[in-house]
């Protein structure tokens, strides 16, 4: 019963300006990655896939991709294992803990990666826990900076399904807490877990500051290799950018489609 809407002309202008700003650098990089040469012409001179070939035969780059993917995946799994039970317990049984989690989720915003790294380097370069420079510290640091997404997503899911009532319903039906958690709570918050997991994956894959400051050349990830390639061969570097971007784009598209399908299912009840 609302006024029929048409996208106003001014909105089109705004979209044009913003999308031009946002998409030209991406399209430019994509063109550069398949250009034979592009330094003294309006459009690339000749197209080739040689840079992608070069990228995938660059052992350092390939290793960097694997390392980045492994670090990101491990971060996601670690967060799932640690955060899920904690948030569920906090929401259902420990209201005081909920406040702690809220604060812990704000801290990373006030505490950007540079500051976190400055603290971590000083703490963990020496015994009893000399893990600076290892992938371990990277995974744990990523865990902390991605914590807000995970805590937020799981908390929202629990709120949406009214976890408290569900848990009580289960217990009144004779289920133990563990059974209820496994069979009722987990399946219901799964969409939240997947979406925050994909987000964490994307953030970890694109993270540079912590990787550079905490491990740097000792454990090169995509971003570190990219900085080196930038100065050495721009075309191969842009091929790496496109490969990375494709990885992340697939993750976020999966997120978008998955979220829509989920909300459709819930609404279609």
Partner 1 sequence: MKRRDLWPYLAVTPLLILLLLFEVLPAVQVMWASVHLPSGAFSLENFKDVFTGAIWQAAMKNSFFLTLWSTLAGLGLSVLGAWALSRSTGRVREVVAALVSLCINFAGVPLTFAFIILLGSSGVVAYLFQMAGSDLRNHFNLFGPSGLALVYIYFQIPLGIFLMLPAFAGLRREWEEAAENLGARSWQFWRYVGLPVLTPAMAATASVLFANALGAQATAYAMTNGMMNIMTVRMSRLVSGDVDYEPNLASAAAVVLALLMVVALLINQTLSRRFSAYTREGR
Partner 2 sequence: MSEVRIEHMTKRFKHQAAVGDVSIHVREGEFLTLLGPSGCGKSTTLRMVAGFEAPDEGKVFIGGKDVTNVPARERGVGMVFQSYALFPNLTAHDNVAFGLRMGKLPEAEVKQRVSEMLDTVSLGEHAGKYPSQLSGGMQQRVALARALVRRPSVLLLDEPLSALDAKIRVQLRELIKDLQVRLGTTTIYVTHDQEEALSLSDRVAVMSAGKVVQLGTPAEIYAQPATRFVAGFVGTLNFLPAEIAAGKAVRPEALRLYPGNVPLPPAADELRLAARVIRANLLGTLVRVRLRVGEHELVADTLNTGEGAARWPEGLAVTAGIPAGAVFPVLE
Shortest Å distance, C-beta 66 to partner 1: 18
- Given partner 2, partner 1, none, residue 70, with its beta carbon under 5 to 8 Å by kind, binds none
267 binds partner 2 (CB under 8 A): no
Q: Can you point out the beta strands (E) in the chain?
A: 35-37, 45-47
* SS3 per residue for 9-38: HHHHHHHHHHHHHHHHHHHHHHHHHHEEEC
The rounded distance, in Å, linking the Cα atoms of 239 and 236 is 5
Count of beta carbons in the 10 Å neighbourhood of residue 88: 21
- Judged by CB under 8 A, does residue 7 bind partner 2? no
Q: Which residue, 2 or 126, is less far from partner 2 as judged by CB?
A: 2
Q: Which two structure tokens, joined as six digits, stand for 70? A: 């492994």
In 3D space, the residue among 65, 94, 79, 187 whose CA is nearest the CA of residue 142 turns out to be: 79
Question: Is 1 an interacting residue with respect to partner 2 (CB under 8 A)?
Answer: yes
8 is an interface residue for partner 2 by CB under 8 A: no
Residues 131-170 that bind partner 2 (CB under 8 A): none
* Contact (Cβ atoms closer than 8 angstroms) between residue 228 and residue 234: no
Which one of partner 1, partner 2, none is in contact with 21 (Cβ closer than 5 to 8 A by kind)?
partner 1
Helix (H) and strand (E) counts for the chain? 12, 2
Q: Which is nearer to partner 1, 17 or 169 (CB)?
A: 17
**Residues ≥6 apart with Cβ < 8 Å to 125:** 132, 133
Min dist CB 212 to partner 1, Å, is 7
Contact of residue 42 among partner 1, partner 2, none (CB under 5-8 Å per partner type): partner 1
Given a contact cutoff of 8 angstroms between Cβ atoms, the answer to whether 151 and 83 are in contact is yes
Name the CA radius of gyration of the chain, rounded. 23
Pick what 149 binds: partner 2, partner 1, none; C-beta below 5 to 8 Å, kind-dependent.
Answer: none
Residue 3 in the binding site for partner 2 (CB under 8 A)? yes
CB of 2 to partner 2, least distance (A): 9
| Residue 6 makes contact with partner 2 by CB under 8 A | no
Both structure tokens of 236: 């191969």
Residue 4 interacts with partner 2 (CB under 8 A)? yes
| Part of the chain binding partner 2 (CB under 8 A), chosen from 1-9, 60-68, 152-160, 185-193 | 1-9
CB nearer to partner 2: give 2 or 231.
2
Contact 33, 235 (CB under 8 A): yes
**Contacted entry of partner 2, partner 1, none for residue 140, CB cut-off 5 to 8 Å set by kind:** partner 1
Identify which of residues 1 and 9 has a Cβ nearer to partner 2 in the complex: 1
The option from partner 1, partner 2, none interacting with 20 (CB < 5 to 8 A, set by class) reads: none
Exposure string for 96-113, b = 16+ CB within 10 A, e = fewer: eebeebeeebeebeeeeb
Out of partner 1, partner 2, none, which partner does residue 232 contact, by CB within 5 to 8 A per kind?
none
Site residues (CB under 8 A) for partner 2? 1, 3-4
């Amino acid at each position: 019963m609302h006024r029929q809407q048409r996208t106003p002309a001014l909105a089109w202008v705004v979209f044009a300006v913003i999308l031009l700003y946002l998409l030209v650098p991406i399209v430019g990089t994509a063109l550069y990655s398949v250009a034979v040469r592009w330094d003294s012409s309006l459009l690339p001179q000749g197209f080739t896939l040689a840079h992608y070939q070069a990228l995938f035969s660059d052992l350092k780059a390939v290793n960097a991709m694997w390392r980045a993917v492994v670090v990101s995946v491990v971060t996601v799994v670690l967060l799932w294992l640690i955060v899920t039970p904690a948030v569920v317990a906090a929401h259902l049984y420990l209201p005081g803990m909920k406040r702690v989690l809220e604060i812990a989720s704000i801290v990373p915003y006030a505490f950007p990666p540079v500051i976190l790294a400055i603290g971590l380097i000083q703490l963990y370069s020496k015994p009893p826990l000399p893990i600076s420079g290892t992938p371990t510290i990277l995974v744990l640091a990523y865990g902390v900076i991605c914590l807000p997404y995970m805590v937020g997503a799981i908390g929202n899911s629990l709120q949406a399904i009214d976890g408290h009532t569900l848990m009580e319903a289960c217990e009144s039906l004779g289920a133990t807490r563990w059974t209820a958690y496994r069979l009722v709570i987990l399946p219901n918050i799964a969409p939240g877990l997947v979406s925050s997991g994909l987000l964490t994956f994307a953030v970890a894959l694109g993270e540079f500051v912590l990787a550079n400051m905490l491990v740097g050349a000792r454990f090169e990830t995509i971003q570190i290799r990219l900085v080196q390639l930038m100065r050495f061969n721009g075309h191969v570097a842009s091929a790496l950018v496109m490969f990375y971007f494709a990885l992340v784009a697939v993750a976020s598209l999966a997120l978008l489609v998955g979220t829509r399908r989920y909300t459709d299912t819930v609404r279609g009840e």
